[in-house]
C-alpha cells in the first residue's frame, strides 16, 4: 500500500474508513426526491447511447432534474423525457455556469452542490448523494480524491495484489492522457510483475471502468487505466470512457469491443451496499 502524505492524512482524519459515501435521506418535498446516484449514472451513460433509452431506475429522477432545467428556460420541454442525453448535459452545464462555476465544474455532470441547489429551487430533495471527498497526496506524489483512494485500496484487498500507481488524478498538465486525468477518478497502474487480468477484474468489481492497456494499442507503456464510475469531479474525456464501458467498448478512440474481464458493472456505492 502507498504511504499517504502527512498533510493529506491530517486533512482526512475526520473521514470514515470508507469515505464520504452519503446515503442520508432528506425530507420529502412537494416535488418528491431525486436519487443522485441514478442521475449521475444516467449522465455518464445516456449521452453515449445510440438511442434515447432510459438508464434503468433513473427515469423519474432525471425527469425531475430536466423539468427543473426546463422551468428555468434552459432546456426545451421535449427533452423532459428521463433520458440524460446531450441536450440535458448542455442545459445542466448552462445551469452550472449560472451558479458561477466554470471549467470542469461546469461540464454538465451534476455535482452534489449544484444538484442540491437545483432541488431547493424546484422543490425536490436529493438523496443517495455522492461525495468524492478531499484530495489525498500519496507518498509517490500522485493525487487521488478520497473516494477513488478507497476504491483503489478495496481493489487491492479484493485481488490480493499490491498495485503501484503510475499516474493519479487532477493532472491537467499531462497531454499524453488526452484529458482523462484532468479531473478526479482517474488512475493508471503498473502491470509489471502482477496478474493484470486479476487486477483489472478487481478494479471493475469495486466500481472502476478499467482496462489493461497494451503497447500495441497506443504510444504508452503497458498499464491498467481505470476511471472511478460516478466520480463527480471527472473530466468529460473520462466520462466518455465510462460511457464506452457501459456500452461494452474499450474506452479508446476506435471504440472497439471491450477486451477486459467480464463482471457486473457497478458503482462504488452499489458495491458497498452488497459487500
Per-residue pLDDT of the chain (275 residues; tens, 9 = 90+): 443 443 343 334 334 333 444 444 434 445 799 999 999 999 999 999 999 999 999 999 999 999 999 999 999 999 999 999 999 999 999 999 999 999 999 999 999 999 999 999 999 999 999 999 999 999 999 999 999 999 999 999 999 999 999 999 999 766 667 889 999 999 999 999 999 999 999 999 999 999 999 988 877 899 999 999 999 999 999 999 999 999 999 999 899 999 999 999 999 999 999 99
pLDDT at 220: 83
Residue 101 burial (C-beta neighbours within 10 Å; 0-12, 13-18, 19+): middle
Structure confidence by residue, pLDDT tens digits, 55-71:
999 999 999 999 999 99
pLDDT at 176: 66
Statement: 33-127 belongs to CATH 2.60.120: no
Which segments of the chain belong to CATH 1.10.101? 33-127
Please tell me the pTM assigned to this model: 0.87
Distance in angstroms (rounded) separating the CA atoms of residues 151 and 155: 6
Amino acid at each position: 500500500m502507498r504511504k499517504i502524505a502527512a498533510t493529506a492524512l491530517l486533512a482526512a482524519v475526520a473521514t470514515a474508513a470508507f469515505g464520504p459515501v452519503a446515503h442520508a435521506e432528506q425530507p420529502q418535498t412537494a416535488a418528491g426526491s431525486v436519487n443522485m446516484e441514478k442521475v449521475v449514472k444516467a449522465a455518464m451513460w445516456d449521452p453515449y447511447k445510440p438511442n434515447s433509452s432510459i438508464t434503468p431506475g433513473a427515469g423519474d429522477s432525471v425527469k425531475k432534474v430536466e423539468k427543473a432545467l426546463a422551468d428555468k428556460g434552459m432546456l426545451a420541454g421535449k427533452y423532459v423525457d428521463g433520458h440524460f442525453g446531450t441536450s440535458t448535459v448542455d442545459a445542466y452545464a448552462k445551469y452550472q455556469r449560472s451558479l458561477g462555476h466554470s471549467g470542469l465544474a461546469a461540464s454538465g455532470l451534476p455535482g452534489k452542490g449544484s444538484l442540491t441547489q437545483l432541488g431547493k429551487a424546484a422543490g425536490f430533495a436529493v438523496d443517495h448523494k455522492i461525495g468524492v471527498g478531499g484530495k489525498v497526496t500519496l507518498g509517490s506524489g500522485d493525487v487521488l480524491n478520497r473516494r477513488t483512494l478507497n476504491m483503489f485500496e478495496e481493489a487491492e484487498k479484493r485481488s490480493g495484489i499490491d498495485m503501484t500507481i503510475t499516474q493519479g488524478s487532477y493532472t491537467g498538465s499531462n497531454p499524453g492522457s488526452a484529458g482523462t486525468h484532468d479531473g478526479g477518478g482517474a488512475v493508471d497502474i503498473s502491470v509489471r510483475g502482477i496478474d493484470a487480468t486479476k487486477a483489472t477484474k478487481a478494479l471493475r468489481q469495486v466500481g472502476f471502468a478499467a482496462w489493461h492497456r497494451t503497447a500495441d494499442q497506443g504510444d504508452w507503456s503497458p498499464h491498467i487505466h481505470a476511471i472511478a464510475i460516478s466520480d463527480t469531479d471527472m473530466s468529460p474525456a473520462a466520462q466518455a470512457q465510462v460511457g464506452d464501458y457501459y456500452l461494452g467498448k474499450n474506452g479508446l478512440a476506435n471504440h472497439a469491443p471491450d477486451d477486459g474481464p467480464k463482471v457486473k458493472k457497478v458503482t462504488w456505492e452499489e458495491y458497498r451496499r452488497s459487500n
